[in-house]
Amino acid sequence: MNARAVLKTRMLGGDPPDSFQVHAGQELIGTWVVADRMEDLTGLYKSEGWLTKFPKGLIDLLSYKGGIWSVPVNIHRSNVLWYNPAKLREWGVTPPKTWDEFLATCATLKGKGIEAPLALGENWTQNHLWESVALGVLGADDWSALWTGKLKFNDPKAVKVWDTFGKVLDCANKDAAGLSWQQATDRVVQGQSAFNIMGDWAAGYMTTTLKLKPGEGFGWAPSPGTAGTFMMLSDSFGLPKGIKNRTEALNWLKVLGSREGQDAFNPLKGSIAARTDSDLSKYNAYLQSAAKDWKSNKIVGSLVHGAVAPESFGGQFGTVMEIYLNGKNSKAAANAAQAIANQAGIGR
């Protein structure tokens, strides 16, 4: 967050950095591209042959008004359900495939004395859960339609997302707001909770920090109702206008987009390459499975992590969540979300 404040100071002060890291998509487009501060990278994509190397769904998210505005370095997946395979066997349940199934499983587990079948953490992880619920309830097409303004946030379909979200919250721990996302993941690993919905950096945490083996110490599935859809977020670098070392900055972007660059960075970071031709032998079991989905699944963008929502919407989504949590009124939350969408100019 503070890095973003520094970035704003430097950009407004006429001293733009040669390149900077930003979530791919609207976080860059809605703030800096619309303000005419970035260079179009379509030429670079053509000369490097990237147009065929990155999936089309990704390039669509990076594009605005006929230009492509940043080079994605990595890909993380937002809609993943994590569990502890040994514990699920013990309880005799399987990872749910839809939200209805999830709620049924939740009731079963509660009957077995598990207080909170779903482990949840601080504020942003609640928003993160919301986007998985929304994707599951709406489906990929309607989710994307929300961000082009074709589907309103107060449409009955979108109001239903809040209804389901409320029921899902009833399955979660009551002390959520005091936990970091790692502490929420720990609850699943230790068997206090059955499920956790978190981006796939959780896999990196469980393999590297907790030394668990993917598939044995922890298991994963697409979050309920989202099989076949890959909700992505990505760190990317752009090219601001008016920089001093343009050639070097372009060379930097070339390295970032290259197969060698991506395969050197991502196994260490615990993410997959944005390119579809990466050398999978360098990645662990979880990442290989994610890379497989990345090539075959439908690609949509994350709200919380800046792919589909501009900062002006993302920054105020917390307010919408507040309105919901205070009154548990789906309609009020949906109306507030639409009001913020209007203000942020979504669909304009």
Binding site for another protein (CB under 8 A): 1, 4-5, 8, 11-12, 30-32, 34-37, 122-124, 174-179, 310-312, 314-316, 318-323, 325-326, 332, 335-336, 339-340, 343-345
Smallest separation (angstroms) from another protein to the CB of 73: 23
If the CB atoms of residues 94 and 343 are measured against another protein, the closer one turns out to be: 343
> In the complex, what is the shortest distance from the CB of residue 33 to another protein, in angstroms, rounded to a whole number?
9
Nearer to another protein, 173 or 266 (CB): 173
Residue carrying structure tokens 């001093």: 244
Minimum distance of another protein from residue 250's CB (angstroms): 22
As given in the structure block, the two tokens for residue 236 are 């990317």
Question: Based on CB atoms, which residue is closest to another protein, 274 or 336?
Answer: 336
Name the residue nearer to another protein (CB basis): 1 or 92. 1
Alpha carbon distance 202, 81 (integer Å): 10
Q: What is the DSSP string of 188-239?
A: HHTTS-SEEE--THHHHIIIIIS-PPBTTTBEEEEPTT-TTEEEEE-EEE--
Choose between 118 and 320: whose C-beta lies nearer to another protein: 320
From CA 105, how far away is CA 192, in angstroms rounded? Answer: 15
Task: Output the smallest distance, CB 327 to another protein, in A.
Answer: 8
We find the least distance from the C-beta atom of residue 323 to another protein, in angstroms, to be 6
Is the separation of the CB atoms in 322 and 177 below 8 Å?
no
CA 49, CA 103: separation in Å to the nearest integer?
Answer: 46
The residue (of 180 and 296) whose beta carbon lies closer to another protein is 180
Question: Least distance (Å) from another protein to the CB of residue 240?
Answer: 11
- Alpha-carbon gap, residue 16 to 139, rounded angstroms: 39
Closest CA to 238 of 4, 20, 45: 20
Using the minimum distance from each CB to another protein, give the nearer residue, 18 or 311: 311
Q: Evaluate whether 239 touches 38 at the Cβ level (below 8 Å).
A: yes
114 vs 341, which CB is nearer to another protein? 341
Among residues 162, 201, 171, 169, the alpha carbon closest in space to that of 185 is found at 201
Alpha-carbon distance of 31 to 311, in angstroms, equals 7
> Min. distance of Cβ 260 from another protein in angstroms?
35
CA distances from 96 to 108, 194, 260 (A): 12, 11, 38
CB of 89 to another protein, least distance (A): 28
**How distant, in Å, are the alpha carbons of 56, 71, 120, 198 from that of 131?**
22, 24, 14, 11
